[in-house]
């Protein structure tokens, strides 16, 4: 039995890990323990480095009595030639007690109004910015469809893009001889 700790209580992240792991025979059977851990970064990471640090901290801080621990963090990163200069990305760190295996999701751009609220008014997180901008009535959009679900009209959800990051990090475990 593989014991997997997840450094989050977010139901979207929990469901994403369960769904992805069930596709990997080398991790069967498994059990997931969600844990409330400290990310060590701001609620709204504003760089790729900070987002990666948050994922790594979550995986490291949840590594207790398990085979693997997962840390998942979403945040902004600078991207040249975009309308706002930033895109949102999800990072997954899978920690085995020695190495962090990192994967990233596809990235997308928040509306300029949201970037202005996050950087100009120093909003604590994207949930707060989307809510204050009047783009959603859900104050915790990150625990449901996510900003990506809102902006793609449900075509891509937060769970979808979280699953991408997990799948990319699992490349390292599934092909360990190559890394």
Q: What is the pLDDT of residues 68-125, one digit of tens each?
A: 999 999 999 999 999 999 999 999 999 999 999 999 999 999 999 999 999 987 777 8
Q: Given this model, what pLDDT does residue 168 score?
A: 98
Spatial separation of the C-alpha atoms in residues 59 and 75, rounded to whole Å: 16
Domain residues of the chain, as ranges?
A: 2-178
Spatial separation of the C-alpha atoms in residues 179 and 173, rounded to whole Å: 9
Q: Given this model, what pLDDT does residue 141 score?
A: 73
Fold of 2-178: Maf protein (3.90.950)
């Amino acid at each position: 039995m593989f014991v997997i700790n997840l450094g989050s209580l977010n139901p979207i992240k929990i469901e994403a890990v369960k769904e992805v792991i069930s596709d990997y025979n080398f991790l069967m059977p498994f059990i997931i323990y969600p844990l409330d851990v400290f990310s060590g970064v701001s609620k709204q990471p504003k760089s790729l480095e900070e987002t990666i640090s948050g994922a790594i901290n979550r995986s490291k801080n949840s590594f207790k009595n398990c085979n693997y621990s997962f840390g998942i963090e979403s945040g902004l990163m600078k991207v040249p030639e975009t309308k706002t200069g930033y895109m949102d990305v999800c990072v997954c760190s899978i920690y085995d007690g020695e190495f962090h295996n990192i994967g990233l999701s596809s990235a997308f751009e928040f509306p300029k109004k949201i970037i202005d609220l996050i950087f100009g008014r120093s909003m604590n997180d994207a949930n707060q910015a989307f809510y204050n901008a009047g783009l959603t009535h859900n104050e915790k959009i990150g625990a449901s469809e996510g900003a990506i679900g809102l902006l793609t009209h449900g075509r891509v959800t937060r769970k979808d893009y979280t699953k991408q990051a997990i799948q990319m990090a699992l490349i390292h475990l599934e092909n360990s001889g190559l890394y």
